[in-house]
Amino acid sequence: MPRVKRGKIHLKRRKGILKRTKGFMWGRKSKIKLAKTAATKAGAYAYRDRRNKKRVMRRLWQIRINAAARLNGLSYSNLIDLLKKANVTIDRKILSKIAADRPVTFTKIVEAIKK
């Protein structure tokens, strides 16, 4: 059986791994063994953190809404409860943006749902 030379495939695979680890520190950008594990872990962390980002952002929105609600004499939970009872369908992302950028508008929303 003749010997198979796999130079092209071997180099292509290495190039792909090293391309993914470009900008990493120390040997993880140039040594194939270290680059392979670094690229695998980077992919795993990226996958995990795409989901974590959603949790983190929701927590940030809740903190902003709570801060603005407290300035208007309500707690976060009371504000959300009043919004649901008044059938106001503003999601937390938009509500936090209003609270941060336009406090006067937020105050008007609070006054409207208190009635």
CATH value at residue 54 = 1.10.1900.20
For residue 55, count CB atoms less than 10 angstroms from its CB and return exposed for 0-12, middle for 13-18, buried for 19 or more: exposed
Based on the structure, what is the number of domains in the chain? 1
Rounded-to-10 torsion of CA 44, 46, 47, 51: 140
Other CB atoms within a 10 A radius of the CB of residue 27 amount to 13
Q: Whole-number mean pLDDT of the chain?
A: 96
Q: Is residue 105 part of a domain?
A: yes
Q: Is residue 90 part of a domain?
A: yes
If you average pLDDT over residues 14-30, what whole number do you get? 96
Parent domain of 33: 7-114
CA dist., res. 109 & res. 26, Å (int): 54
Q: Summarize pLDDT for 81-104 with one digit per residue, the tens.
A: 999 999 999 999 999 999 999 999
Residue 6 has pLDDT above 80, yes or no: no
Q: Is residue 110 part of a domain?
A: yes
